[in-house]
């Protein structure tokens, strides 16, 4: 066990500040990682503020981790010192339930272990995330990061990336499909890039006219302003798939009406109570409303490999660790294009 520098919150009221946390010594199946970059996710903020309840303090968030391997356990053969690796939202799971057996560890029926705020079965207490110098993770939950992509801009792939990739693949988005991505933020901008790379005709659906040009630069073929009811009517019944990335309470009804018969809208952002839905919208066209949670380790690796092949990364703004509280303020105002990434060198200095 070693003590390492980290940034976290002592309570739901406190700002994030430097503190010390313990990392376990490397076990036979472990990989020790020197953290280079860590993305800033909405979930970090929700956890720090205890918005979902259940936050254990001190809370060290961060689950979009990129780093270099500095040590491996004696049973680790697939990683070596110096490898560029990533760690996402989970660091362990039961490995025996149906979901784990199907490479869907994120849905582990005995409860996956989140990278932060989970039960730490090695040291007791709870897990600490990536806003820190190092992390020690079981090899089965470590990802290989292609060396040809910018590692800073790869960090948010570990959450924002896989969260949008997984549903696009699960619902089999393919060449020629008309796919709508609702909401242009950290998740939405990756949804546009991935759907485009998968060959779909991508429509960015946003309430904000000001995002029209940026959306097209990201790969949207068309932009639909959700406040414009004439435009919404023109697109009614026309989408093969909708990826809904809105992270707050909202009204699903206008979006559901955009779906073709038998098509699905998948929600990935709003772990929140929603506005009342009208049953007729699903009944009259046999439509589906679904949700999807991050992704499994195997498909996260597939996504990273795909990003390497297609040279896809996130659009980011770099910050120093000391700027984290201001960054949180800006994330909450959706004032970031599209993800903050912490340069962890700043913590180590």
Beta carbons within 10 angstroms of residue 142's beta carbon: 27
Between 45 and 270, name the residue whose CB sits nearer to a second copy.
Answer: 270
The distance of closest approach from Cβ of residue 312 to a second copy in the complex, given in angstroms and rounded to an integer, is 24
CB-count burial class (<10 Å; 0-12, 13-18, 19+) for 40 = buried
In the complex, the residues that contact a second copy under the rule CB under 8 A are 99, 104, 107, 109, 170, 237, 261, 264, 267-293
The distance of closest approach from Cβ of residue 277 to a second copy in the complex, given in angstroms and rounded to an integer, is 5
Tokens at 302, concatenated? 């597939």
What value does the CA radius of gyration of the chain take, rounded to a whole number of Å?
20
Helix (H, G, I), strand (E, B) or coil at 73: coil
Between 30 and 177, name the residue whose CB sits nearer to a second copy.
Answer: 177
Between 159 and 342, name the residue whose CB sits nearer to a second copy.
Answer: 159
Between 277 and 318, name the residue whose CB sits nearer to a second copy.
Answer: 277
Helix (H) or strand (E) run with residue 189 in it: helix 186-197
From residue 43, how far is each of 7, 106, 132, 158, 159 by CA, in Å?
Answer: 16, 15, 17, 13, 10
The distance of closest approach from Cβ of residue 260 to a second copy in the complex, given in angstroms and rounded to an integer, is 9
Tokens at 63, concatenated? 């689950």
- Taking a C-beta distance cutoff of 8 angstroms, is the pair 270, 248 a contact? yes
Between 225 and 270, name the residue whose CB sits nearer to a second copy.
Answer: 270
Between 33 and 158, name the residue whose CB sits nearer to a second copy.
Answer: 158
Tokens at 325, concatenated? 């509280």
State how far Cα 303 lies from the chain centre.
12
Which residue in this structure is represented by tokens 């806003």?
131
The distance of closest approach from Cβ of residue 109 to a second copy in the complex, given in angstroms and rounded to an integer, is 7
DSSP letter (8 states) at residue 105: G
The distance of closest approach from Cβ of residue 145 to a second copy in the complex, given in angstroms and rounded to an integer, is 26
Determine the Cα–Cα distance for residues 164 and 191; give it in Å rounded to an integer: 5
State how far Cα 299 lies from the chain centre.
13
Helix (H, G, I), strand (E, B) or coil at 260: strand
Between 214 and 244, name the residue whose CB sits nearer to a second copy.
Answer: 244
The distance of closest approach from Cβ of residue 285 to a second copy in the complex, given in angstroms and rounded to an integer, is 6
The distance of closest approach from Cβ of residue 307 to a second copy in the complex, given in angstroms and rounded to an integer, is 23
Determine the Cα–Cα distance for residues 106 and 99; give it in Å rounded to an integer: 8
The distance of closest approach from Cβ of residue 81 to a second copy in the complex, given in angstroms and rounded to an integer, is 37
Between 48 and 265, name the residue whose CB sits nearer to a second copy.
Answer: 265
């Amino acid at each position: 066990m070693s003590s390492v520098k980290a940034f976290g919150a002592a309570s739901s009221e406190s700002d994030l500040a430097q503190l010390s946390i313990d990392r376990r010594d490397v076990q036979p199946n472990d990989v020790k990682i020197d953290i280079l970059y860590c993305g800033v996710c909405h979930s970090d903020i929700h956890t720090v503020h205890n918005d979902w309840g259940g936050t254990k303090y001190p809370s060290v968030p961060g689950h979009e981790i990129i780093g270099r391997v500095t040590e491996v356990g004696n049973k680790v053969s697939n990683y070596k010192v110096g490898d560029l690796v990533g760690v996402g939202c989970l660091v362990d799971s039961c490995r025996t339930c149906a979901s784990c057996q199907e490479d869907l560890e994120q849905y582990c029926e005995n409860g996956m272990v989140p990278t932060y705020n989970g039960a730490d079965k090695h040291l007791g207490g709870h897990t600490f995330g990536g806003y820190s110098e190092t992390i020690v993770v079981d090899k089965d939950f470590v990802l290989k990061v292609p060396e040809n992509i910018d590692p800073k801009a790869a960090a948010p792939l570990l959450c924002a990336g896989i969260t949008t990739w997984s549903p696009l693949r699960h619902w089999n988005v393919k060449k020629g499909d008309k796919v709508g991505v609702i909401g242009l933020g950290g998740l939405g901008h990756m949804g546009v890039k991935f759907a485009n790379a998968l060959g779909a005709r991508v429509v960015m659906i946003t309430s904000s006219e000001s995002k029209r040009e940026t959306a097209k630069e990201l790969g949207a073929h068309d932009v639909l302003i959700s406040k414009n009811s004439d435009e919404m009517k023109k697109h009614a019944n026309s989408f093969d798939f909708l990826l809904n990335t809105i992270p707050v309470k909202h009204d699903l009804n206008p979006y559901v009406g955009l779906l073709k018969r038998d098509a699905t809208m998948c929600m990935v952002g709003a772990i929140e109570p929603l506005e009342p839905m009208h049953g007729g919208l699903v009944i009259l066209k046999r439509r589906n409303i679904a949700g999807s949670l991050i992704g499994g380790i195997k498909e996260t690796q597939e996504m990273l490999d795909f990003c390497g092949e297609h040279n896809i990364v996130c659009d980011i703004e770099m910050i120093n660790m000391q700027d984290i509280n201001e960054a949180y303020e800006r994330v909450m105002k959706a004032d970031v294009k599209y993800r903050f990434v912490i340069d962890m060198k700043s913590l180590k200095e």
